[in-house]
Amino acid sequence: MPTTPIFVLVHGGWHTPAHYQPFVDAVESRGYRITAPSLPSTDDKTPPDPTAADTRVIADTVRTFADAGNEVVLIAHSCGGIATAEAAHGLGVRERSAKGLRGGVRNLVFVSAAVGEAGKPILVAKEMPTDPSEFLALPEVPRCHRP
């Protein structure tokens, strides 16, 4: 029998948990548990390796709930997607079950989030456009066709 998951909302790089309070309130008003941990990368004093620090906070938050037997839905927004994808590694429900553990990440939800390819940097400084108009240039994308 499925259990009601706990939601963990991971904010983006230019946000804090306070920016998501209306969403948190709406989720809680429907009877769900939700938490939005504060990421060290957005503190006044940024840690030496911000992504690693964020990943630890997210993984520790998930592990706390999972170790109590809860299933977690991780929701990542914006830059929070990078650390969230890494933090979820090894904490999935199936992975934990194979080790005889209950709980774990049931689902990952990425909302306008950055998600990298394993082993590759998200952005290399030399690839950054210098002309501001290039920031707005969109690649050609195939159109969706309806039958």
Quick one: pLDDT at residue 38? 95
Give which of 116, 115, 97 is closest to 105, Cα–Cα: 97
Mean pLDDT of 115-143: 53
By percentage, how much of the chain surpasses pLDDT 70? Answer: 78
* pLDDT in the model for residue 130: 57
Tell me the fold of 6-116: Rossmann fold (3.40.50)
Q: What is the mean pLDDT of residues 114-134?
A: 58
Reported confidence tier of residue 13, pLDDT bands at 50, 70, 90: confident
72-103, pLDDT tens digit by residue? 999 999 989 989 999 999 999 999 999 999 99
Which pLDDT value is given to residue 2?
Answer: 58
Percent of the chain whose pLDDT exceeds 90:
61
